[in-house]
Structures are given as C-alpha cells and as structure tokens.
Structure 1
Amino acid sequence: MQSHRSFYWNLHIMMQTLFRLPGRRCAAILASLLLVTPAFAVLPMTDSQGNPLPTLAPMLKSVNPAVVNIATYSTQRYDNNPLLNDPFFRYFFNIPDAQRAPQKRQQSAGSGVIVDAENGYVLTNFHVINGADEVQVQLIDGRSLQAAVMGTDPDLDIAVLKVNADNLTDVPFANSNALQVGDFVVAIGNPFGLGQTVTTGIVSALGRSGLGIEGFENFIQTDASINPGNSGGALVNLAGELVGINTAILAPSGGNVGIGFAIPVNMARATLEQILEFGEVRRGQIGIAAQDLTPDLRNAFGLPTGLRGVLIADVLDGSSASDAGLQPGDIVLSLDGQPVTSANQLQSILATTAIGRTIDLRYIRGQRERTVEVTLQDASTLLSLDDELHPLLEGVRFENNERGGVRVMNMAPTSRAAYAGLRPGDVVTAVNRRPVRDLSALNDALQSAGRELLLSIVRDNRSFYVVIR
C-alpha cells in the first residue's frame, strides 16, 4: 500500500511540474509521452467510485459475464466380484441374479468462455469435459445451464459446447499472432472451484512447444496465476479481447510458480470453425518434414549466429510445398508473419490452419530470403494412414524414403508408437530384424509380426532400436 501511495504522490508532483512549463513545451512533452507509452492508453483511469486511479474494473464488467464455471458429472462403475458371475455361487448364498455393479457419482470443475452469445457456443479444454456424462455451465448471474458437446479436439485440448439461453455475453476474439512478450494479460477462471477469480500478469514468452502437454503445442506463456480449475478459462488483453484459452501450469512443487500456459485463440478459433462446419477437426498440411535448427546445423548452412527458424528435411512430391518450389535445406522463418522457432511449433500452426487457406511462408535459401504462398491441403490426401498394417502402428503415417526404408511422416501424439519413442522424420530400416526397403517390404514384414515390434530406426544419422508393445 505504501508503494502505491508513493507512486501516485510522485506522479502528482511530476504532473504539477509539467503543467508549470510553457504551453507549447508542455504539449510537446505530453504528446511524446503518449507516443512512447501506448500500452497505458487502454488502462481505465477511474475506479468504481470515480476516483482517478488505474483499474481494470470497467473492462472486467464486460468480460466477466462471458467467463463461465463448468461442472462435469461422471459415473464410475465398479466391477462385481467374479464369484458373483458364478450361478452356483449365487444360488448357494441366495444372491439375486439382478444385482447391479456398484456405482459412484463423481464431480469436477473447470472454466469456459462464451465466444458466440447468439448461438450459445462455449470454448473450454477437452480435458475438462473428457469422460463426463453430464456438463453443466454456470453463469455469473447464477443460472445453471445444461451443455451439449458439439465436438472436441483432443490433440489441441479444445472442446466446443453449446447452451440454449437468452441474454448471454460473449468475448470478442483478438489476433493472438499480434501478441508480444511484455503485453499485459488477465486470466479469468474458477480456480479450485472457488468461483470466478481474476489474476493479472504479462506475456512471458510465445511459441512454447516441446512440453509434452498436448499433441500440438504453440503456447502463450504467462505469469498470471493459473491454478487447477482455471483450465478452459479466458486469457484476455487490456481491451477485453480473448487472446488465449488457459490450459496448464508448470508446477514442480505442486503449486503455482508463475509459469502458466494458454492456447492461442487463433488456434482455438480454427478448431471451433472446423467443428461447426464439418462436425470434426480436419488437419491441414503442406507436405514437408521439418526439424529443429540446431547450432551445428546453423553453422553447416552458413547462417548468421542467432538466426532462428526450422529446417525443411524433406518435401513430399505432389504436395503444395513442392508446387511452391520449397526444397530440402530451406530454412522456414515465419508463417503468415508469425515467427517459427521449432518443428513442433511449425507443425502445430499448420495443423490448426484451415484446409484450403493460402499462407505466406518466409524462408531462407542460400543466404537469400524469400517468400512464397502455400495452400494448406488435407493431410489425408498427402499421407497414407497405415492403421491396417498392424494394430501397434495405429495412427502412424509412412512414406517411401528415397535412400531406402520408410519415413514416419506423421503420427498421433497419443499412439503407442509415440509413447514408445517413435518420432516424425524417423526412418524405419528393419522390422523384427527383417530389412525394410519400402512400404511394400514394411507390409510384408508386419504380416508375420506378433504382439511386439522391434523397429530399427535412423534419426539424425544415428541408428537405434524402438520396441513397441
């Protein structure tokens, strides 16, 4: 409190001194302050009593009604003792045949954001409603509404709900690609089931990936407190616009340590639009295999120190990337103006971009920077899904590798192969010690495979084995 008083007293003295200056000089200084401090232009300058103090209350009055609490209910059924399935046992102990397995009603809490008041659409996290038999949305005005699940995107951890009610309030979408590190943000949600809670912070980092939280990761990192129950809540800017969906925290000690993550609203919005249009999420791709740009690769390609980007390792023939002239060895710098710094981030952006949309891809080839337009294609038209090859390879997509073997082009992040350590870009050269030269040889080798696969893998010019059970 003392620090706040000191701040405002110093501000008062500064303004008094400023207004004693000649008119033109005072105006010039005021104009320069406005130009170099645009972030303060959106801060409210009065509190709820009309006192000239900075406050977020006016903005929150318009946003809070759109942030909802989500209560989910599920029924857990316990199996009966196997002896109860024996008719002689039931007869001997006079146990009725119609005895039902015991059940337990479970309840959990989360948050959500109304993004379309007219149609009643609510965005939340998939893990908030996963496995629920019933979903209830509770508004700030006390109403409790039954919600229907319109669709889900487990890889992005997004779910779309629908409620039927009048007088709803929604939050307008911001452009999350325009966010910058240092921008002020506000997290709103229902931590620990306490009820609607507001915390503030800044954007600590952008494009966070490789955390193993979701299948597609391109997180906004913030120091605004995000706690259990905040999942699915809103991350808004000071203009009251939605920039992200709160989803996770990094908490090695079990509590909040100021490292929270939110899904960029542009990615969540793409999922929303696809679910509403198609009833499902259709992944887009351009037909490239990418890898992170390491310091050794940067030196090998003669790139300047500090340059960040993603290396194209392969381009699929007949793909939109091939048609645009992209080649292995090109360094991707940005997609539609959004910088890319890792292969995971690049794939996440592409996978959440609408199929058929054309994007600007900026890249470097031979010390020269270029830009091309690339159209997103349906991944199913580029890759052959090899679910039928073997149950253990369900969700893995292969293609022939020019130098022999088969390349892993894409895979479900929750597949058994992914958990075993297989990664996109890996080249399979043998299965159960049988050499694999192409897709046909892979199919032949898998015909005699049992419940365990021993794959010989080449990754980054290193050979090793992966066992999938």
Structure 2
Amino acid sequence: MNRFPLAGWSRYHICLGSLDDSGGARFFHASQEASPCADSRIPVTIALQLIASGLCILFVGGGIAFADSSPPSLAPMLERVFQSVVSISVKGKAAEEIDPLLQDPFYRRFYGLSEELPPQTSSFQAVGSGVIFNAQRGLILTNYHVVEHANAITVSLNIGKTMHARLVGSDPETDLAVIEISADNLLAMPFGDSRHLRVGDYVVAVGNPFGLGQTATLGIVSALGRPGLGTDNLATFIQTDASFNPGNSGGALVNLEGELVGINSATAGSALGINFAIPSVLAEQIADELVAYGKVRRGELGVVVQDMTPKVRLALIINHESGVIVSQVNSDSAAQRAGVLAGDVITAIDGHPVGSATEFRNRIRSIKPDTAIRLLVDRSDKSFEIAARLSELKNDNSPESPITYLGSIVLLDVKAGVKPYGKADGALVIAIDKDSKAAAAGLAAGDIIVSINRQAVHSSKETLDLARRSGHSLLLGIYRDDALRFLTVQ
C-alpha cells in the first residue's frame, strides 16, 4: 500500500450503500480501476464524516487503513516502528556533589580531616531508549545523557531479546550518541526530513518510559526551531505535546509515515505537554560523523562575535538589521590569517545571511574543518567578501585567559566621528556580555576605558592586548559622566 498522512488527502475506493425495500444492501462502486473519478481526492475529515453516515471507504495508505466501518488506526505503522525502537539500561559511576563545607580547607583542618579531599563517586542505574538506524551493523542512535558515565550498556529489543552494547561515539554538544549491538534480523527506521515538518503536523513519540517497555503517545508539532533551552547545546529543537517521561530519552519521534523526524531529548521541567526532540536532519548528520570518526569534527573560525544591538548600529553607523560584530580575533586563527579584524560586521556566510551570534556559531561549527568559506563583511562603510579556510575546533582545557575578565566585549576607538571624541582618549565600550566579570564589576556600555592597571591605553587593540598580558585581576580606569573612576575586575 502507498502511504499518506492523516491530515492530508488520499486516493480512495468508495462503495455507496443503501438499503433496499427488503432490508438488503445495494452497493454502487466507484473504484480506481473502473472510473477516472476514483482518482479524485477527499480530505480525511470528510471521509470520517461519510463513514459515520454509513459510507464504506477503503483508503489506500500504509500509515492508516480501514474498510467497512473500521475506525482509523496507527497500528499498522507502529507495528513497524516498534521493531526499530529499543530499550536501553546502563550501569556506571558518577561523581557525587560534595558538601561545600567539606571543600573549605579551614573547616577540614578544624575538624582534623585530611587536606586532600578524596573523590566522591557513587554507582547508578538508568534507563532510556534508542533507535536502530543501521540494521546491518546494529547501530543505534540515542541521547548522550543516556549513556554518559556508563560502564555497561544493555539493549533490549521489542521481541524481548537482550544483549550488551558498546559505545561507538558521543557528542555532548548535541546530546547524541551512537551505540552498537551484534544481532541478526534487525529492522532500521528510515530517516524522515524534519525540515518538512510544520506546526500542527501529527507526530508519535515512542520509547521506554519509566522502564515499562515500549510506549507510544500521539501529539502534534507545537513549535519548530526552539533554541538550546538555556544550555550550550548546538541543536534547535522540535517542540511537541506528545508525552515524554523519564526513560523516553533517546527514543523516536515519528511522523505518520513511520519515519524518524526527531530524537526525544528533554521536557520543560514539571510543565505538561512541553517536550523537545532533536531534528532528524541534525541527528543523521551527527550519527554519520560519530560512526566515521567516533567524534564530531567541527569547524572553527577563531573569532568572538556579538549580536548587532541598536547601540552598536548607532555607534558604528550601520544600517544592517542583521549580522554580527567581531569583538575579538584569536591569534594564529583562520580568521586572522584571512584578514578579519575586530570591529568587522559579518552579515553572511557563503551567501546565507547571519541573524545572531548563536546562528553564526552554529553555522560555523556545522561546517567541516579545512573547508573554504566566504564571509560577507562590512568595514568602514565598505562591503566586501573575505575567503577563509576553517580550522578544526579543539576542546580547550587551558586555564582561564585574563581576557575573559573583560568577557565578550565590543570596543571602539575614540576618534573623530565618535560621540565622546575630545573628552577622553581610550576605548569606548559599545556592548558587553552582561554575565562577564567586568560587567559584574560595573563596566557598562558607554564607558571609556582609559587605563588598565594604571597604564594608559589609546585604542581598542591596545586595551585588549594589555588585558591579555595582565595578571589575574584588572584595575580599569574608566571615564563616565565627565569623571574618572576605577573598577577592579577579579
């Protein structure tokens, strides 16, 4: 049978029925084979009304099928889907939270405890779900947080068979992982295209809530493109009201064709009907990288960027509503080699407009290392392209750099054409990360940094360079409201 969506249209066979005088049934058939009019299309909602009136409709569809007066059902589709969704149980050890008092050296000395705080770990067991996406190799896609810290991973198939699994690779930034089992006669779930989803489309969440076993819940797509939900997650999520519960993580969100459109990932705390899934387009891309390399390789340009705020546009006399401003260019980075400068406004990557700093970062990281890209840049009232070749993003575990005391900051040289020109010499703060240590110390947009650790500065570059070379605290001399004051950033 051909597939069709519940809320769409379908080809049909109709048998119009009526009762004759003797109470017997008389039928008049209009079928695909007998009449051209049978290739017409009717909405399913109308079909259901016709059924209620005694009309017999046989739909030609793989997702839902019924004849005579049988009600519509998702059972044919779910019978296939259940074969591709597995239950996962893990055992492992994780670090325990330590009482802050025990971390205080004075407290430990006072009570005669050892100077060294021994590592605190505890054993745990957890359950989750996964989706078979490669039957030949026994590859299963799940959430990173399901298998995080796992020492042993066990997979249970829908037929009741249980086996051990090994971790192929994981990616914390997208909360995805791939595990592998050795088994025959597996059925892989096909990937659907999550880009074709619309708000209001029906979806079904399938997983292993509370370890009860395979469970399906029906809902709709409530929203699309939800950002990282307060985390550093690179994914933008599908929001659905299909019910998720503990144990659903890593399970399948499918359309009515039985195609994978999302990986169930998170719920909004105690809220009801607000659940999130990672789109299948991203999940498939990450799965391919994990299978090939055991990790996800991401591109890096080597810049710190900020959103284009109204204050920044006004100060830089920029008419663009979109784009990001470069606040810092890392030394020996792809950006520096390409000629990107602090203060540049990047409005597009490879011809695609950039709307925010988050979008910019995600797009750069979605491109493989050693890929050549084109940046559309605005600088000094001129717009031009810069060609850059991305390097590979590395996990940076180095100590905190002194520049982070200023945080993500946009500075502008105080020169002719800039509003405070003539009042003070230094670097004008156009925008600053509100969560930075400098902001916490009181530095704000509109301030002019005139000195760092009592050494005068005369430009944005000099300010950033001196901040990098300084120790683990900064004494900022700032000009504000026609007066000089000092701020200590620690």
Please report the TM-score for the alignment, with normalisation by the length of structure 2: 0.61
Alpha-carbon contact 1:235-1:262 (below 8 Å) kept: yes
Q: Distance in 1 between matches of 2:318 and 2:410?
A: 26
Match of 2:293 in 1: 278
Query: Which residue does 1:437 correspond to in 2?
Result: 462
Corresponding residue for residue 483 of structure 2? none
Q: Larger radius of gyration, structure 1 or 2? A: 2
**Are residues 292 and 400 of structure 1, via their aligned partners in 2, closer, same or farther at CA, if it must alter by over 3 Å?**
closer
Provide, for residues 194-245 of structure 1, a one-character-per-residue CA deviation record: whole Å limited to 9, x for no partner.
2111112222221111521442231111121112211111112222221111
Q: Provide the rounded CA distance (Å) in 1 between the counterparts of 2:337 and 2:200.
A: 34
Determine if contact 2:139/2:179 at 8 Å carries over to the other structure.
yes
**SS state of the match for residue 437, structure 1?**
helix
For the residues of structure 1 that align with 2:195 and 2:324, how far apart are their CA atoms?
Answer: 23
Cα displacement string for residues 382-401 of structure 1 (whole angstroms, at most 9, x for unaligned residues): xx96925649969x999997
* Structure 2 residue 275 is the aligned partner of structure 1 residue 260: yes
Corresponding position of 2:194 = 176
Are the equivalent residues in 1 in contact too, given 2:373–2:387 (CA < 8 A)? yes
Amino acid at match of 1:441: L
CA distance in 1, matches of 2:44, 2:182: 45
- 1:128 is aligned, of 105, 121, 146, to 146
* C-alpha spacing 1:73/1:175, structure 2 compared with 1 (3 Å): same
* 1:46 maps to 2:65: yes
- 1:217 pairs with 2:229: no
Maintained 8 Å contact 2:324/2:346: yes
Contact preservation (8 Å) 2:254, 2:261: yes
Q: Deviations over 1:306-365 (max 9, x none)?
A: xxx8423239696499799xx955655x9898x97654244334423434568899x999
Task: Name the CA distance, whole Å, in 2 between partners of 1:127 and 1:444.
Answer: 39
Mapping of 1:96-175 within 5 angstroms? 105-175=123-193
Matches within 5 A, 1:61-460: 61-75=79-93, 105-251=123-269, 254-255=270-271, 257-285=272-300, 291-292=306-307, 310-314=322-326, 319=335, 329=345, 331=347, 342-355=356-369, 377-380=390-393, 387-388=398-399, 390=401, 403=413, 437=462, 440-445=465-470, 448-449=471-472
Partner amino acid for 1:378? S
* Between 49-58 and 185-194, the greater mean CA deviation after superposition: 49-58
CA distance in 1, matches of 2:204, 2:257: 10
Aligned-residue CA RMSD (Å):
5.7
The answer (yes or no) to whether the contact 2:191–2:260 under 8 Å persists in 1 is yes
Structure 1 spans left out of the alignment, 5+ residues: 1-11, 82-88, 90-100, 304-308, 422-426, 458-463
Kindly provide the amino acid, as one letter, of the partner of residue 31 in structure 1: S
Deviations 1:17-50 (A, max 9, x none): 9x99999xx966963547999xx98663426x99
The AA in structure 2 aligned to 1:226 is F
Distance 2:488 2:217 in 1: 45
Asked if 1 retains the 8 angstrom alpha-carbon contact of 2:174 and 2:233, the reply is yes
Q: Distance in 2 between matches of 1:428 and 1:280?
A: 44
Structure 2 equivalent of residue 84 of structure 1: none
Q: Secondary structure at the match of 2:287?
A: helix
C-alpha distance 113-360 of structure 1, shift in aligned 2 (>3 A): farther
Question: Structure 1 residues 239 and 376, CA, compared in 2 at 3 Å: closer, same or farther?
Answer: farther
Cα distance in 2 for partners of 1:454, 1:197 equals 60
CA contact (8 A) 1:354 1:376 kept: no
Query: In 2 relative to 1, CA 192–31 (structure 1 residues): closer, same or farther, beyond 3 Å?
Result: same
* d(CA) in 2 for partners of 1:400, 1:294: 11
Contact 1:75–1:106 under 8 Å retained in 2: yes
CA distance in 2 between counterparts of 1:165 and 1:171 reads: 16
Q: Structure 1 vs Structure 2: percent identity of aligned residues?
A: 35
Aligned length: 393
Distance 2:301 2:95 in 1: 45
CA shift for structure 1 position 191:
1.4
Paired letter, 2:89: A
How far has the Cα of 1:58 moved from its partner?
Answer: 1.6
User: Which residue of 1 is the match for residue 49 of structure 2?
Assistant: none
Instruction: Give the Cα separation in 2 of the matches to 1:127 and 1:288.
Output: 29
How far does the alpha carbon of each residue in 1:416-440 deviate from its partner, in whole angstroms, 9 at most, with x for none? 98xx99xxxxx99787787783664
- What residue is the counterpart of 2:40 in the other structure? 31
Distance change >3 Å, CA 171–CA 286, structure 1 → 2: farther
Separation of aligned partners in 2, 1:44 and 1:163: 29
Give 1:377 shift.
2.3
Kindly provide the amino acid, as one letter, of the partner of residue 40 in structure 2: A
Distance in 2 between the 1:35 and 1:340 partners?
41
Amino acid in the other structure paired with 2:288: E
Structure 2 gaps of 5+ residues are 1-11, 18-26, 47-58, 103-111, 113-118, 414-425, 442-446, 479-485
Partner of 2:51: none
Provide TM-score, normalisation by structure 1.
0.63
Q: Which amino acid aligns with 1:275?
A: L
Q: 1:342 to 1:140 in 2, by over 3 A?
A: farther
Match of 1:461 in 2: none
Distance 1:176 1:323 in 2: 37
* Contact 2:301 2:335 (C-alpha < 8 Å) held by counterparts: yes
In the alignment, the residues of structure 2 paired with residue 41 and residue 466 of structure 1 have an alpha-carbon distance, to the nearest angstrom, of 73
CA–CA distance in structure 2, aligned partners of residues 139 and 22 of structure 1: 44
